[in-house]
Amino acid sequence: MEANAVVGRFNFIKRLGLYKTIKPYSIAIEIESWSGNVPRSNFQQDSVDVSVEDIRGREDQFTFDQNGFALLEFNSSMMYEDFEDTRKLEDLYAQELGACLLQYFEAKSVRVFSILVRRRHPEFPNIEVRRTAQAVQPASRVHIDATPQALRELMAELETHEGTPHHRSGRFIYLNVWKPLRGPLHDWPLAFCDARTVDKQDLEQHDHIFPHSPNAPSSPRNIVRENHIVYHNQSQKWYYLSGQLPSELLLFRQVDSEDNQGVPHTAFQLSRDSSEGPIVPRESVEARVIVYLD
């Protein structure tokens, strides 16, 4: 193991012949009306110890085009308490983020379509915590947020919901933009995989059933989103950023119209020495963004 690496316990999907005929799925615990004999998921997980290298001090060695992730300095005018204000998130933070990414990618346009704040419950992962505005928990399963098909469906849904068509010609990238609300972060950081080390065979299509679309939260119907869950492969190279600050944006690719590989990612629990003092539960904000390059 590298000197600047830690060991994280990651939840991968277990390799089973079942998935050749039955697609993996999971049903969000927020769907309280779910009943019957159908289980909430039909796949098994493998918990694997993975070496995770720290990119602190060598951030410039990694680029978005080459590795699928990058670190970007970003100073928002949002104060800590502002991230509890939905209107400020959707207006001010989205606008600041969009302007930053427009410049970084030298893009034609940027669409910030979802912003989610996560606040780890002190007892997570030992208890099951439902998704609420105050208690969205770290995502502890290795995954990629969407498949290319899911992105096409999402783009069509965004156009319908907003009532304004958007150009789809040319290249576009769907990415996630992640940062802590407090720092330096030492609790449940995000691990991300070098896209160059991901084999297509490592990915399994998976349906995640939510109580409604995040783009239309008042909708009464459940919605299915297809993403990729991931098999462990010894060839995968995993990284994280130690002591991440609120001014440090982590960008990582999900889907690229030019078929560049998306980045598997997961939150993971850092081991700590009791002498380091009490653990401050992680609070973070992530934005899902489509960048139109042409």
SS (H, E, C) the chain: CCCCEEEEEEEEECCCHHHHCCCCEEECCCCCCCCCCCCCECCCEEEEEEEEEECCCCHHHCCHHHHCEEEEECCCCCCHHHHHCHHHHHHHHHHHHHHHHHHHHCCCEEEEEEEEEEECCCCCCCCCCCCCCCCCCCCCECEECCCHHHHHHHHHHHHHHHCCCCCCCCCEEEEEEEEECCCCCCCCCEEEECHHHCCHHHEEEEEEEECCECCECCCCCCEEEEEEEECCCCCCCEEECCCCCCCEEEEEEEEECCCCCCCCEEECCCCCCHHHCCCCCCEEEEEEEEEECC
Q: Over the chain, what is the mean pLDDT?
A: 88
Cα 30 to chain centroid distance, Å, stands at 19
Residue 170: band (very low, low, confident or very high) from pLDDT cuts 50, 70, 90:
confident
Check residue 71 and give its pLDDT. 97
- Whether the pLDDT of residue 131 is over 70: the answer is no
End-to-end Cα separation, the chain, in angstroms: 42
- Whether the pLDDT of residue 243 is over 60: the answer is yes
Residue 33: band (very low, low, confident or very high) from pLDDT cuts 50, 70, 90:
low
CATH fold of 44-292: Jelly Rolls (2.60.120)
- Whether the pLDDT of residue 282 is over 90: the answer is yes
Distance CA 145, CA 116 (A): 13
Check residue 216 and give its pLDDT. 47
Distance CA 183, CA 189 (A): 11
Check residue 163 and give its pLDDT. 62
